[in-house]
Structure 1
Amino acid sequence: MIKVKKQWLWIISGALFGLLVFAPLIMILFEYHFGKHQLPFKEVAINFYREAIDFVSGALLLLFVFMGGMMGYLIFRLRADNHRNSSDATISDLLLKGECNSIEFKSSFRWDYRLQKTSKEIEFAGLKTIAAFMNSTEGNLLIGVDDDAKIVGLDKDYETLRKYGRDGFEQYIMQSVSLHLGTENCKNVRVSFVASNEKDVCWIKVNSIKTPVFLKHQQNTHFFIRAGNGTRELNIQEALIYIRGTPRI
């Protein structure tokens, strides 16, 4: 829906450009050149705007509107294709590199493929990774990708949401971060989506921060860090040593 709105915004903007800028400019130059005016160009332009209805027929105006709209649409498509190609290439790089201290794959955020139902433990696993990235080094969490770097998509997660699709999924992610990691940490999470083979992948970029981040889950508080290509929980003593001894950026 958002993409469709942006598309029409570009089309309408292009149509207005064609009507209000392109058409007058072309007709002014045409009239100035072939009309052999002795008047300065500025005077010709002013006269055009004063008597525009005499210079341009309705059909010609519609032609400029159409041309401007098409130009807006083509610019929108070009920008969208460039963005998609750039994102796909980056996602491909992450998939090729595989899981490491800064990359983690999750098949889903809510759906348990083994039990075939939603699971709070699955959510907990995703939030653990986000918390660990914040406490260690910035990282990338790809949801909709299994441990073998195969894209499985987000359809199962989408079906569990009140609001189906990307918008509903992003809202649920941010609500979970706010509830379990703290609202102040939402600014350290950037959510985007990439479509590959008609399957969505959610790409969560997480910033590491100066202050320690604790994960609240079932009335317990946890502290996680990245350890190699996995996430490790520290007990209170280990967490204190880690927080005191780790340089915070």
Structure 2
Amino acid sequence: MRMATANFIIKNNKELILHSLFGLLIGYFFLHPVSMVIHWVETNNSAFSWTEVERVFYDSMVHSFSFHMMPMSLAFTTLGLLGGLGSGIYYKSIKKKKYLLYGRHQLLQQSIPSLIANGKTEFVEFKPSLRHDYRQVKTDKNIELVVLKEIAGFLNAKGGTLIIGVDDYGEILGLANDYWSLKKQNKDGFQERIILLVSNSFGKDICSRIHFAFHTIQDREICALYIDPSSRPVYLSERNNTVFYLRAGNVTTPLTTSETVKYLQTRRKI
């Protein structure tokens, strides 16, 4: 168990370990000898040649590894280690930002009409409504759960756009039926309802990951939810079960417990 935990920690922090190790080596084998050469140059008032500098550098290199220089070596090693650690943290943060921005970058290259025309993708999903059942022609709050599944799937993956008011075939249905079912029968009421659902299901902090944009196409208003990836896994309570949904390809699917653990371990490496 301890070995498995250690291996997981190493894999999850590989960049930090490599950068720190590289910084440590630079501090010990380069910064310390160079500092001694610089000190010699500054204190030597007589003229000197580059050949002499090379000799001093070699002597300083050998001298820096002597026992009585260990405190200074330790100081420069620590300095190099901290510099490498900072470099590793920066590299990892840049890598993570690129991962988070990848999905949004794919979407920004396309307009809403072209997104609809191109159909469902890894980053695009359609839903006819938030809570109106077009088959039974009535309001059904159970449909809200279907919308939440899609939101959860995007949050747990690379993000994406959920367009509400458009069916699976790209037909523009609009939000009029949803508006009619709300207490505040307009886009403000629609937005407030989604924020309430997201807040209650995933937490208030997740609301900042959802961005709203309303568009009028064919004289019908639709809503595009631009969903950023979540920095933490989100779960949806469904029939007394806690379910992890993930967007993969053009579908959103529930993962088993083991699949969820494996996915989250893989995601932490990014």
Please give the TM-score of this superposition, normalised by the length of structure 1. Answer: 0.62
Aligned match of 1:110 in 125, 131, 141?
131
What is the CA–CA distance in structure 1 between the aligned matches of 2:190 and 2:205, rounded to whole Å? 20
Kindly provide the amino acid, as one letter, of the partner of residue 169 in structure 1: F
What is the CA–CA distance in structure 2 between the aligned matches of 1:175 and 1:246, rounded to whole Å? 28
1:134 aligns with 2:155: yes
Please state how far the C-alpha of 1:248 moved relative to its aligned partner: 6.5
Please state how far the C-alpha of 1:144 moved relative to its aligned partner: 0.2
1:201 aligns with 2:233: no
1:191-246 Cα distance to aligned partner (Å, 9 max, x none): 11001121001010000123111112343311000121010001212111111122
What is the CA–CA distance in structure 2 between the aligned matches of 1:217 and 1:183, rounded to whole Å? 19
Q: Secondary structure at the match of 2:191?
A: helix
What is the CA–CA distance in structure 2 between the aligned matches of 1:247 and 1:229, rounded to whole Å? 23
Paired position in structure 2 for 1:81? none
Aligned match of 2:203 in 182, 187, 193?
182
Tell me how large the CA RMSD over aligned residues is: 1.7
Aligned match of 1:120 in 141, 153, 157?
141
Please state how far the C-alpha of 1:136 moved relative to its aligned partner: 0.6
What is the CA–CA distance in structure 2 between the aligned matches of 1:183 and 1:196, rounded to whole Å? 31
Kindly provide the amino acid, as one letter, of the partner of residue 183 in structure 2: R
1:14-163 alignment, distance < 5 Å = 90-163=111-184
Q: Secondary structure at the match of 1:246?
A: helix
- Runs of at least 4 residues of structure 1 off by over 4 A? none
Higher Cα Rg, which structure: 2
What is the CA–CA distance in structure 2 between the aligned matches of 1:100 and 1:223, rounded to whole Å? 20
Please give the TM-score of this superposition, normalised by the length of structure 2. Answer: 0.57
The answer (yes or no) to whether the contact 1:209–1:248 under 8 Å persists in 2 is no
What is the CA–CA distance in structure 1 between the aligned matches of 2:132 and 2:234, rounded to whole Å? 25
The answer (yes or no) to whether the contact 1:181–1:216 under 8 Å persists in 2 is no
Q: Secondary structure at the match of 1:205?
A: strand
Please state how far the C-alpha of 1:178 moved relative to its aligned partner: 0.4
What is the CA–CA distance in structure 2 between the aligned matches of 1:190 and 1:136, rounded to whole Å? 16
What is the CA–CA distance in structure 1 between the aligned matches of 2:134 and 2:217, rounded to whole Å? 20
Structure 2: stretches of 5+ with no match in the other structure: 1-107
The answer (yes or no) to whether the contact 1:95–1:149 under 8 Å persists in 2 is yes
Q: Secondary structure at the match of 1:125?
A: helix
1:172 aligns with 2:193: yes
Q: Secondary structure at the match of 2:173?
A: coil
Structure 1: stretches of 5+ with no match in the other structure: 1-86
Paired position in structure 1 for 2:238? 217
1:84-125 Cα distance to aligned partner (Å, 9 max, x none): xxx9x7111211221011000000010111122222331111
Q: Secondary structure at the match of 1:225?
A: strand
Q: Secondary structure at the match of 1:233?
A: strand
Q: Secondary structure at the match of 1:162?
A: coil
